[in-house]
Amino acid sequence: MSEARVSEIEPGSDPRWDEFVAGHPDGHVYLHSKWLRCLAAEYERPLIALCTEEGGALTGLLPLIATRGMPLRRGSATVGARLSSLPRTPLAGPLTRDRAAAAALLEAALERAGDRRLQIKREAADLDGLVEGVGGAPWRSSYVLDLPGDEAELRFGNSRNHGRIKWAVNKAHKEGVCVRVAEDLADVHAWYPLYVGTMREVLVPPRPLRLFEAMWRHLAPDGLMRLYVAEQSGRMLAGSVVLGLGRTSFYAFNGRRRDALSLRPNEVLQWEAIHDACRRGFARYDLGEVTPGDAGLAEFKRKWGADEVILHRYHHPPPDPRTEDAGGDDGFARRAAASLWQRLPLAATRLAGDLAYRWL
């Protein structure tokens, strides 16, 4: 057992939490108290915020939120009941000054998990061997672009690839497509139906509007969130939500009109968002994860010169592959469900997403 002392803290009330996140070289927006507020606004689940400290200064922290788990799949590592850091969030886990603090936080998390599964989300496989019974495994690929210190030095892959992207962006500009940063909540409301439609097309339940309203209230005023919108003659074609703190800017959510794809709005959005991240001093631009088999999305992210990064998931107890794969190979059932999902009215997919995430 580690000698580091673990206690609970209120991130929104104790300024040490955000000071520690902002001052740590690996600190990022998904550990900030205001992202935790957004998750709370989404489904009002209690937060367990653990920390280690020495002489009144924090030496580590770990946020945790419990989920109920999908009915009939409560034992699943991905959709079952669990204590997670953090649910519906790509990266979280312990942020510490040393491995002793990380081990102490994991041990405390196991105590609070009780009979539930513990889930920790990490970019790197850096928690191996810390605590007995907590095991990690590769999960999905993400794509991360290293940014130069000078925007003028920004290049997307080799010269040929960079030239193709710049040609697409110039073509969009000639067609009258322009990008701006959202100015108020009305822009969020105008973008949200594009997001819901995109999620229906890619077979992913949409997050509820109240999450994005909370992000606008809590994150946008401090520059932790920006919604970039692409427009033509005042008509919104697409929009991307980008979150950022510390070294990394995260491309988090996107919505676009399918009938406007020939105008290359997503290329223009990425171009502007990446250049803006560079101007703002970020060292990395994370284009987000890709589900296995989605070669088209992976290629879109790779063309920006991003490197593949394998994300990891740690669990206690370790997941049983037989349980996780059960029912997952029925290709006909999957195709039938996908066909039905894509034909649902947008209001129905919004409701279905809201219901699903209440369990997740």
- The pLDDT, as a whole number, for residue 322 is 56
Q: What is the pTM of this model?
A: 0.94
Residue 324 half-sphere exposure, CB side, CA atoms within 13 Å?
Answer: 8
Check: CB of residue 58 under 8 Å from CB of residue 33. Answer: no
**Phi, psi dihedral angles at 140 (to 5 degrees):** -135, 170
Tens-place pLDDT, residues 188-244: 999 999 999 999 999 999 999 999 999 999 999 999 999 999 999 999 999 999 999
- The pLDDT, as a whole number, for residue 328 is 40
Domain ranges in the chain are 6-140, 148-282
* Topology of the domain comprising 6-140: Aminopeptidase (3.40.630)
For tokens 């609070």, the residue is: 112
What does the block give as tokens for 162? 């960079």
Task: Mean pLDDT check: name the lowest of 134-143, 191-200, 252-261, 338-347.
Answer: 338-347
Question: Pseudo-torsion of CA 109, 292, 350, 213, nearest 10°?
Answer: 60
Judged against a pLDDT cut of 70, whether residue 341 lies above it is answered with yes
Interatomic CA distance for residues 103 and 148, integer angstroms: 34
What does the block give as tokens for 334? 């999957």
Tens-place pLDDT, residues 276-303: 999 999 999 999 999 888 899 999 999 9
For tokens 């995109």, the residue is: 198
% of the chain surpassing 70 pLDDT:
92
Of 358, 352, 311, nearest in space to 88 by CA: 358
Task: Mean pLDDT check: name the lowest of 40-49, 101-110, 276-285, 289-298.
Answer: 289-298
pLDDT confidence band for 326 (50 / 70 / 90): very low
Write down the mean pLDDT value for the chain: 92
What mean pLDDT do residues 1-22 have? 90
How many of the other CB atoms lie within 10 Å of CB of 133? 11
- 240 contact partners, CB below 8 Å, separation of at least 6: 227, 228, 251, 252, 253, 254, 266, 269, 270, 273
Domain 148-282 has CATH 3.40.630.30: yes
Q: Comparing 6-140 with 148-282, is the CATH topology the same?
A: yes
- The pLDDT, as a whole number, for residue 327 is 40
User: One-letter amino acid identity for 302?
Assistant: R
Judged against a pLDDT cut of 70, whether residue 74 lies above it is answered with no
Judged against a pLDDT cut of 90, whether residue 312 lies above it is answered with yes
- The pLDDT, as a whole number, for residue 177 is 98
pLDDT confidence band for 262 (50 / 70 / 90): very high
